[in-house]
Structure 1
Amino acid sequence: MLRISPILSTPPLGPSARRFANGAILVESPLSPPAMLTMIQGIENRLGRRRYRRWGARSVDIDIILWSGGPWRSRTLTIPHAAYRTRAFVLTPLLAVAPDWRDPHLAMTVRHLHARLQKAAPKS
């Protein structure tokens, strides 16, 4: 593991009623995206994840947000993660581990994407 973010407590996205703990890690690995996904799903299973329904309650959810090889798309995996640019609970921890990482589609850094999302957020 190269870097780990602080843990962020966030409200749920979807029908869950509980809060979530979100974080990000930066790792270096020789695994391809499909092999990394298989490894991650094994970790989730060992931690008690059961896949019943989309947006359902889950004990853990590990996503691959970005990788150094640029975009990746298959039937089971899309990198970058499809919605990461619009989710503060993803961008905030990601900012702590990879602020200068560039989105392969927009060529914007994580720092810029985070600032743009903060600027667009409604003020309370």
Structure 2
Amino acid sequence: MTATYAIALGGNRRGPHGGPADAIRAALARIGGIVAVSPVIATAPLGPSIRRFANAAALVASDEPPPALLARLKAIERGMGRRPGRRWGARPIDLDIVLWSGGRWGTRTLAIPHPAFRQRRFVLAPLARIAPGWRDPVTGRTMRQLLGQVDRRVPRP
């Protein structure tokens, strides 16, 4: 049975395929089954990294169950120069499963929906471009609604 996955793509360091936006394009070619791709956006880094990120989202059709797709995405990351390192550090490519048409999935090594995606504009903005009506299986809110919530969160002085 073919499922649809929402994949977040990002990177902020040159790798064997060029700059971060080039790495996103190269990763998409390796993933295959692409149904839709958002534009690439530039975003500020989270955590200790000082380099800006290139981020995008893709909808991918696959017969693979979530753990098999995750293993394939991690192999693509390694093949594109990703090395284990500090969390949120500089990297040529990062591929995360954000949503799955099967709803929720949870194991020790994989949680779908991605646990932090609701707070991350750099994930929600690209996703809302290609799947505005996709509902989060936890909150029931659409990607457009979740993006609106993130955009309304303005720190008070």
Equivalent in 120, 137, 144 of residue 104 of structure 1: 137
In structure 1, the partner of 2:21 is none
Aligned to 2:51: 18
Task: Give runs of aligned pairs for residues 1-124 of structure 1, distance below 5 A.
Answer: 1-122=34-155
Per-residue CA distance 1:67-101 (angstroms, 9 max, x = gap):
00111111111111111001100000011111110
Q: Can you list the C-alpha shifts for 1:16-53, whole angstroms capped at 9, x where unaligned?
A: 01000000000110110000000101110111000123
How far 1:56 sits from its partner (Å)? 2.6
Identity of aligned residues (%): 53
Which blocks of at least 5 consecutive residues in structure 2 are unaligned? 1-33
Output the CA distance in 1 between the equivalents of 2:74 and 2:50.
24
User: Which is bigger in relative contact order (C-alpha 8 A, separation at least 6)?
Assistant: 2
Please identify runs of 4+ aligned residues in structure 1 that moved more than 2 A: 52-57
Q: Point out the more displaced range, 112-121 or 11-20.
A: 112-121
Which structure shows the higher strand fraction?
2
Q: Residue 122 of structure 1: CA displacement?
A: 4.5
**What is the number of equivalent residue pairs in this alignment?**
123
TM-score, normalised with respect to structure 1: 0.94
TM-score by length of 2: 0.75
Give deviations 1:3-27, integer Å, cap 9, x for gaps.
Answer: 0000010010000010000000001
User: How large is the Cα RMSD of the aligned pairs?
Assistant: 1.2
